[in-house]
């Protein structure tokens, strides 16, 4: 079936030479959606955030209710809760060695942040590779269009040239759209990871040395 869009047929919009580029962009977009959904599920499984629960556990800890604070932190089963539990365990294990508790907290935070950072590299690749794929499709399409014109005897048809250029440029447009969407998704995930990192560092310091404000004020 030959679908029409405006004055052009579908075969005019997607030329044979640019079809592999469109297929590559389509596969890349499907993979990006799959990774995005996986990241959302991963964040839910890790239970990122949890500032209110961590704040409540920290208040109990600083007030001297260490056992209640430990139970509250464990009950959170969140990134911040696990980090806080590690710090509290370090303080209780070696009361006079703050460096030990701080190191336990930072090691736990590194593990949690490493898990949160999984698959981020792929999203970054989508941001950089999608425009390049689109540009490649445009270059190939332009080469094909001018090759056809050079084979024409006599005066070249301006309408045919314009149609060939328009067809070639669609790959760049598709690549740019995909890159913009991937960039937005990547920035959103990176912002959440950075916020979690700041909260973790603030919480580790507050649990060991006291605090000047609430954890929620740190992000």
Which has more confidence, 50 or 90? 90
Burial class of residue 192 in the structure, from the number of CB atoms within 10 Å of its CB (0-12 exposed, 13-18 middle, 19+ buried): middle
Whether 11 has a pLDDT exceeding 70, the answer reads no
Mean pLDDT over residues 152-181, rounded? 78
User: 93-117 pLDDT, tens per residue?
Assistant: 888 888 999 999 999 999 999 999 9
Q: Give SS3 for 6.
A: coil
Q: Which range scores top for mean pLDDT: 39-53, 149-163, 193-207?
A: 193-207
As a whole number, the mean pLDDT across the chain is 84
Higher-confidence residue of 85 and 16: namely: 85
pTM, two decimal places: 0.81
DSSP letter (8 states) at residue 4: E
- Higher pLDDT residue, 212 or 73? 73
Residue 210 is given by DSSP the state -
Does 218 or 181 have the greater pLDDT score? 181
pLDDT at 212 over 60: no
As a whole number, mean pLDDT of residues 21-32 equals 93
Q: Are 103 and 91 in contact (CB under 8 A)?
A: no
Q: What mean pLDDT do residues 205-219 have?
A: 68
Answer yes or no: are the C-beta atoms of 207 and 90 closer than 8 Å: no
- 121-158 pLDDT, tens digit each: 999 999 999 999 999 988 888 887 777 777 666 555 66
Q: C-alpha distances in angstroms, 89 versus 69, 74, 206?
A: 11, 11, 15
Q: Are 135 and 172 in contact (CB under 8 A)?
A: yes
Percentage of the residues of the chain whose pLDDT score is greater than 70: 83
For range 4-12, the mean pLDDT: 46
User: What is each CA distance from 137 to 90, 162, 165, 168, in whole angstroms?
Assistant: 57, 16, 11, 7
**Higher pLDDT pick, 166 / 196:** 196
Tokens 């992000």, residue located: 219
What pLDDT does residue 34 have? 96
Residue 73 CA to residue 81 CA, distance in Å, equals 5
Quote the pLDDT of residue 153.
60
pLDDT band at 194 (very low <50, low <70, confident <90, very high): very high
SS3 (DSSP) at 26:
helix
Cα–Cα nearest to 203, from 105, 112, 108: 105
Which pLDDT score, from 0 to 100, does residue 24 have?
92
């Amino acid at each position: 079936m030959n679908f029409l869009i405006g004055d052009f047929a579908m075969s005019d919009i997607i030329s044979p030479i640019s079809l592999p580029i469109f297929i590559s962009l389509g596969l890349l977009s499907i993979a990006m959606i799959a990774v995005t959904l996986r990241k959302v599920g991963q964040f839910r499984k890790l239970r990122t955030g949890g500032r209110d629960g961590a704040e409540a556990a920290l208040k109990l800890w600083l007030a001297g209710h260490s056992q209640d604070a430990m139970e509250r932190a464990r009950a959170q089963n969140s990134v911040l809760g696990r980090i806080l539990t590690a710090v509290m365990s370090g303080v209780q294990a070696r009361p006079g060695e703050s460096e030990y508790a701080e190191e336990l907290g930072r090691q736990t935070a590194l593990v949690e942040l490493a898990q949160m950072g999984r698959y981020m590299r792929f999203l970054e690749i989508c941001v950089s590779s999608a425009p390049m794929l689109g540009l490649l499709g445009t270059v190939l399409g332009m080469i094909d269009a001018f090759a056809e014109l050079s084979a024409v005897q006599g005066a070249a048809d301006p309408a045919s040239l314009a149609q060939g250029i328009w067809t070639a440029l669609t790959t760049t447009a598709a690549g740019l759209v995909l890159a913009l969407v991937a960039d937005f998704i990547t920035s959103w995930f990176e912002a959440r990871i950075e916020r979690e990192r700041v909260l973790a560092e603030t919480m580790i310091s507050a649990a060991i040395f006291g605090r000047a404000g609430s954890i929620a004020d740190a992000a």
